[in-house]
Chains A and B, each alone.
Chain A
Amino acid sequence: MDTLINISSALFLLLGSFLCVSGGVGILRFPDFYTRMHAVGVTETLATAMILIGLMLQNPDGLVVLKLMIILLMTLFISPTASHALASAAVHNNLMPELDKKEDNEKETSSNS
């Protein structure tokens, strides 16, 4: 039972750090602001959740688990809201996402014919 908890905790931590690193690579390599924000916003919430669940399994003591759960709940509320605020601010200030020009031409030809 003890080793099962240890192994699952290590698994969650590994998964969480892998997601975190992939979000970091995404913020460096993606071409546009909106794509970068999508990479960060999605991976950072999930990575936080995974790592915090891994930490909760490591130390099943009462108050520590409660505090970790509070951090998890708050991150679940706060992270998507911050991404939404950032995106709506960018749209209001006319930072438009880059659209692929070939797709527009194909849509025009398909709607014309």
Chain B
Amino acid sequence: MLIAATIAILVVMIMAIVRGIMGPTLYDRILAVNMFGTKTVLLISLLGFVMGRPEFLDIAIVYALINFISVIGVLHYSDASIFKRSDQQKK
């Protein structure tokens, strides 16, 4: 059962990469990378159980946080800056 879930998550990660390569706009690609990251968290937890090493859960927690911070960083520093428009509105 665990192995079936692992294979399912691997399939979904490949789908996310395909969308990341194909996606016409920038936001599609950011969405694909975000999804890839959360599926990686699940994959690491499952692999930890399959291989019998519960220490992998620390890596899963760290990667969930890093994924979130990276998505917000990318949104902030790309052309899609969510702070630009508020500055223009103040002017």
Chain B residues with CB under 8 A of A9: 1
Cβ-defined partner of B31 (8 Å) among A25, A68, A86: A86
* Proximity bits, A47-81, B CB within 8 Å = 1, else 0: 11001101100110101100110110011001101
Cβ-defined partner of A13 (8 Å) among B5, B54, B84: B5
The number of residues on chain A lying at the interface, defined by a beta carbon within 8 Å of a beta carbon of chain B, is 48
In the assembly, what is the distance between CA of A52 and CA of B2, in Å?
12
- The count of A-to-B residue pairs whose CB atoms sit within 8 angstroms is 132
Contact between B12 and A21 (Cβ–Cβ < 8 Å)?
yes
In the assembly, what is the distance between CA of A71 and CA of B81, in Å?
29
Contact between B64 and A78 (Cβ–Cβ < 8 Å)?
yes
CB distance from A11 to the nearest CB of B (A): 9
Chain A residues 81 to 113 lying within 8 A of chain B, measured CB to CB, are 81-82, 85-86, 88-90, 92-93, 95
* Proximity bits, B2-44, A CB within 8 Å = 1, else 0: 1011001101100110110000010110111011001101100
Q: A44-B39, A51-B46, A71-B57 are in contact. List 18 more A-B contacts (CB 8 A).
A: A9-B1, A13-B4, A17-B8, A18-B8, A20-B12, A24-B16, A27-B16, A33-B27, A40-B34, A48-B38, A61-B54, A64-B54, A71-B45, A81-B68, A85-B82, A88-B82, A89-B75, A92-B80
